[in-house]
Structure 1
């Protein structure tokens, strides 16, 4: 069984989506014949860097969209992602055709559609698997043979008969409470300080880091550590943080391999988003033994299971949760969170599920469209229409 794992964003941007691709490849590398197709970075054994126009390319700085100013930026960003995915998919076709893969596992919708639409080019038709990282409902899913969902809630909205659920996971040997960290001393954070950490893009939109800054700033003497990729909003959010918290706020970006040291410097984890399809950072923090304060949404309640769930849209809600929850309760939540991760999100447990699922998908029957009497009638009808148009309108030559 040969598996191709495709992620156009890997090497171009840094999000949970790309972390998932890297972790899955690393997890299965010693047990499955798997090849990673990525959008950037360096080539390595069984890792192909596929040429593409990345979403952050300068040549896309002047994307023209026809939309309300309210939505123009979001639509332009969508166009950037579409171009990255489509250029990546077409460039990946040649090595995919030559590789004779049994399963092609796609993480982006545009990539999935293009590979699926070109299945007829393959000597042996591969099965196309899509990982639904965006909570896309069944009616909007890309064309594929199978769909992986990451939560039971998303599974309930997915395509019946071809969808299954395997959650995101975390390497509990890397993310654990015993990690030794000098992060506090590096950033001049007092050893006895109460530290809140939030991990995600430093932006107003989905991650709502401005909300986190305002809420934590109201906690006297608390420090706030924000770790994430910079965006067009970052400068303003940094200015807000420095104005409200002075030296009590630290903005930084670290390699994923160094992220455990940042978690180890904190006492509690929070994320300002009002919804996450999954949120790998939740289970990373829980694996580190940190209590989690997050949005009171069905998805997050099912994922975190034991945390402090609040209305993240309400001003003062996060401040109140931090102020009113005593430290012993937070510590107990952190200890239970670690146990939850070991039971549900340990990569060693999920590894067996992936191998079993890939085997099932690879051995499942598949077929391409065939010529039939119905096809013949449809072709004849189209030819009659074209002939009538030619007789009526004439020919150009």
Structure 2
């Protein structure tokens, strides 16, 4: 168990973008100023509610009054500057019987990945027409599959847009989406990205909604004792990523603890709930709620814990910090760079979280409760990040990108491929 302070992600620009002065007006190729248009795409928004989708909603709401931005979303209701794009949702009943030749151990995870692939690819194709007709300067994609599909259609646009990919999955440089620019969310991820086109802006949190002054009747409504030591975890109730089963086994060994798990359900959830009721009868609460109501749940807790071995970012970390909750999490360098000051554990080890919670030092907990909101205000407040996004959009829109051209090299490559095919036919 270790408390650590680590520098947070700085907002930085690749050399390919920095050549444009941030104070210069956005100019067209002939030197005239022009109106910058941005398309923000997320197939999951309206279909699921995870940190990924929360980020998109917060980003759009933060920017919509300052730049010309249109949100392309996979579900929900149409609204001004918000388009609902047709897709086969990952939650569609028609996708609940997927047959894959995979190990039973990974069956649930692989089925979910296949559902996401279908959703994103159908979304990308349905989004193509409004994108072609919209005259956008930047197409900002949140899903890799969407970015890859649409990038392959660049040659169809009258005015070639710049493709920006927000790398929410910590995809390394060798496997990144086809795109012109990449947003990373932490310095750790930036180090493993395509440095010539990558920049770093962290996720943000609305500190007006998430702050320690919020009062809550959550304990009374859910029958949680006022004197209970409440550990909260927020995330999908599953084995393979959030490791909620690990969390249950660890917290169950603390007699005075009550575990509060807030998250969406999946195929793993019934078994995990059964485990919780078996090991912690009367001391565990499972629930899900709209994101707007989540501060009430945080306000009912004493500490926050997450069983994940790695998170690309983890918006729940900074929500917990903003609420003044000490954070117990993996000791991975990426999480250290996000949380900065918390209790970092070798969370692969049985007993690690149990021991950290049992041995918690009251003075350390008081310090972390005070320090968390400061970190949130200084580093992750949405208003602090707004100007960085606008500046990046301006730089990207004013940069030059080009389509592949037919050159002597491509002619030679075509001839070699043609010769190989003829020789193969023998």
TM-score (norm 1): 0.95
Unaligned 5+ residue runs, structure 2?
1-35
**Residues 335-354 of structure 1 mapped to structure 2, 5 A cutoff:** 335-354=370-389
Q: Distance in 2 between matches of 1:363 and 1:350?
A: 20
Alignment match, 1:76 = 111
Q: Which residue of 2 aligns with 1:177?
A: 212
C-alpha deviation, 1:12, in angstroms: 1.0
Q: CA deviation at 1:380?
A: 5.2
Residue of structure 2 equivalent to 1:151: 186
**1:383/1:317 Cα in 2 relative to 1: closer, same or farther (>3 Å)?**
closer
* Structure 1 Cα separation of the partners of residues 411 and 305 of structure 2: 60
- Note the C-alpha offset of 1:125: 0.5
What's 1:107 paired with?
Answer: 142
The equivalent residue for 1:121 is: 156
Cα distance, 1:73 vs. partner? 3.0
| Structure 1 residue 35 displacement after superposition | 0.7
1:161 matches 2:196? yes
Contact 1:278-1:300 at 8 Å conserved across structures: yes
> Is residue 263 from structure 1 mapped to residue 298 from structure 2 by the alignment?
yes
Aligned to 2:273: 238
Whether 1:274 aligns to 2:274 is no
Within 5 Å, give how 1:205-244 maps onto structure 2.
205-244=240-279
Distance 1:385 1:176 in 2: 65
Q: Report the secondary structure of 1:195's partner residue.
A: strand
Specify whether residues 370 and 265 from structure 1 end up closer, same or farther in structure 2 by C-alpha distance, changes over 3 A only: same
Selected match of 1:94 from 121, 129, 148: 129
| Cα deviations by residue, 1:116-167 (Å, 9 ceiling, x for unpaired) | 1101111100000000011100000010000000010100000021000001
CA RMSD in angstroms comes to 1.6
Aligned to 1:45: 80
Distance (whole Å) between structure 2 residues aligned to residue 264 and residue 144 of structure 1: 41
| 8 Å CA contact 1:263, 1:285 repeated in 2 | yes
Q: Find the residue that maps to 1:95 and give its secondary structure.
A: helix
- Trace 1:285-364 onto structure 2 (pairs within 5 A): 285-364=320-399
Structure 1 residues 340 and 6, CA gap change in structure 2 (3 angstroms) = same
* The 10-residue stretch of structure 1 (224-233 or 59-68) with the greater mean CA deviation from structure 2: 59-68
* Equivalent residue in structure 2 for 1:35, among 58, 61, 70: 70
Q: CA deviation at 1:199?
A: 0.3
Q: Which secondary structure state, in structure 2, belongs to the residue aligned with residue 276 of structure 1? A: coil
Q: Which residue of 45, 60, 65 corresponds with 1:25? A: 60
Instruction: Give the deviation of 1:312 after TM superposition.
Output: 1.0
| Greater mean deviation of Cα atoms: 378-387 or 128-137 | 378-387
CA–CA separation in structure 1 for the residues paired with 2:177 and 2:318:
28
CA contact (8 A) 2:321 2:327 kept: yes
Structure 1: unaligned runs, 5 residues or longer = none
The answer as to whether partners of 1:290 and 1:331 remain within 8 angstroms in 2 is: no
Task: Flag the 1:277–1:386 CA change in 2: closer, same or farther, 3 A.
Answer: closer
Q: Is residue 133 from structure 1 mapped to residue 165 from structure 2 by the alignment? A: no
| Aligned counterparts of 1:282 and 1:301: Cα–Cα separation in 2 | 11
TM-score by length of 2: 0.88
Question: 1:178 Cα shift?
Answer: 0.7
Shift of 1:386: 7.0
What is the distance in 1 between the residues matched to 2:90 and 2:200?
Answer: 29
Q: Which piece of structure 1 moves more, 62-71 or 280-289?
A: 62-71
* Match among 209, 212, 235 for residue 200 of structure 1: 235
Aligned residues: 391
CA contact (8 A) 2:108 2:267 kept: no
Per-residue deviation, 1:200 = 0.4
CA distance in 1, matches of 2:123, 2:230: 41
Once residues 159 and 218 of structure 1 are traced to their aligned partners in structure 2, the CA distance between those partners, rounded to angstroms, is 44
